[in-house]
Amino acid sequence: MESQKSLADKWIKMLQASGYRQTEARNTIVDVILESQRALEPLEIFEIGRKRQSGLGLVTVYRTLERLEALGLVQRVHQPGGCNMYLRAPVGHEHLLICTSCGKAEFFNGDDLAPLMDYVAKQSGYCITEHWFQLFGQCADCQKK
């Protein structure tokens, strides 16, 4: 598992490689996202980030999320309660497993889906280009309580 710090460096480098600049606000926002175990709303990122960098603005959070999402570094997470939370994007065939109690998000490998998707494609005649697969439940810690 790559450390948060080096992942943050990589993200900033990717922003720069796309013509964007490294700024204090972006450093803060990237750190907040990478240090979180769960998906966060823009307002939450703003509030957490503001404790470290008092001048941070909510609009900058929105604009930074937009860029990070366009670069594929961050994903919007869809949940029964709403679809405005953000998390680091999966790499490869990772899918999300989210705790309904504490919100903790983990990734698991979903390679096994390929046969089912092939079958559905054959049956339906669709040319399948994308799949969403996500699990919800209670994590081990929350089950104990």
16 touches which of DNA, a copy of itself, none (CB within 5 to 8 A by kind)?
DNA
- Contacting residue, 63, 78, 95, 104, with DNA by CB under 7 A: 63
Residue 9 binding DNA, by CB under 7 A: no
Chain centroid to CA 81: 16
Chain centroid to CA 16: 20
Q: What is the rounded radius of gyration, in angstroms, for the C-alpha atoms of the chain?
A: 17
130 touches which of DNA, a copy of itself, none (CB within 5 to 8 A by kind)?
a copy of itself
**Residue matched to tokens 């922003």:** 15
Pick out residues in 32-51 that bind DNA (CB under 7 A).
Answer: 41-43
Backbone angles phi, psi at 125, to 5 degrees: 80, 0
Report how far residue 90's alpha carbon sits from residue 100's, in angstroms, rounded to the nearest whole number.
19
75 touches which of a copy of itself, DNA, none (CB within 5 to 8 A by kind)?
none
Residue 78 binding a copy of itself, by CB under 8 A: yes
